[in-house]
């Protein structure tokens, strides 16, 4: 029954969707997009695709419903979406997504608001790679990303632009404030010490 398959919060809407298929003569997926969920035996919900098929009978229409578990498909979709917008090493936004966010901001607020971009790169990063290898360089970039992120405000947009370069987009921020943020970040980075297999940088 519907109580066994559909979460309680969606049951009220379900009959209307079934009714809309009474005149159809072929299988169709329910038009609920990403908002359709099934109900597991333990009461937990999971994303599903519901396909309703009309079976022609002489006396009255008969329908069958097919539920497809979309958990893995949704997880893969989200992973692909994340990888297309984020840097694999640091987990921060990548350059393409950062540039897209900047463009969106300019399109929406051009000449209306003041914003700032802070660009940071790690001086002599090649020294870490030469001494510790690429594993050390990767770990340093990861730690730097975390350090910079810990010093940003909620809503600030941080990205790894490539190599040893990071970008920080400060929305609704004056140049004076951006300079202050930049100095604070430089101080935090300069005070940081990176250790790798007995070497300290």
Which residues are annotated as catalytic? 164
158-186 residues labelled b (16+ CB within 10 A) or e (exposed): bbbbeebebbbbbeebeeeebeebbeebe
In the sheet that holds 157-162, the strands lie side by side as 116-121, 165-170, 157-162
Q: Distances in Å between the alpha carbon of 139 and those of 21, 126, 132, 196?
A: 56, 13, 10, 9
Angle of helix 95-109 relative to helix 71-85, nearest 10 degrees, comes to: 80
Query: What number of CA atoms fall less than 13 Å from residue 32's CA on the CB side?
Result: 21
Polymer length in residues for the chain: 201
Query: What number of CA atoms fall less than 13 Å from residue 158's CA on the CB side?
Result: 22
């Amino acid at each position: 029954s519907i109580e066994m398959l559909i979460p309680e919060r969606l049951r009220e809407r379900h009959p209307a969707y079934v009714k809309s298929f009474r005149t159809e003569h072929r299988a169709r997926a329910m038009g609920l997009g990403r908002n359709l969920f099934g109900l597991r035996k333990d009461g937990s919900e999971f994303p599903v695709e519901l396909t309703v098929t009309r079976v022609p009978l002489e006396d009255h229409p008969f329908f069958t419903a097919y539920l497809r578990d979309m958990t893995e498909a949704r997880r893969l979709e989200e992973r692909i979406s994340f990888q297309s917008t984020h840097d694999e090493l640091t987990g921060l936004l990548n350059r393409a997504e950062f540039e897209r966010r900047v463009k969106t901001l300019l399109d929406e607020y051009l000449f209306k608001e003041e914003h700032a971009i802070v660009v940071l790169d790690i001086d002599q990063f090649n020294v870490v790679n030469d001494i510790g290898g690429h594993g050390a360089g990767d770990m340093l970039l990861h730690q730097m990303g975390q350090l910079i992120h810990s010093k940003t405000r909620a809503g600030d947009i941080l990205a790894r632009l490539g190599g040893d370069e990071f970008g920080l987009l400060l929305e609704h921020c004056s140049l004076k404030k951006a300079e202050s943020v930049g100095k604070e970040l430089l101080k935090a980075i300069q005070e940081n010490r990176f250790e790798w297999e007995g070497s300290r940088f």
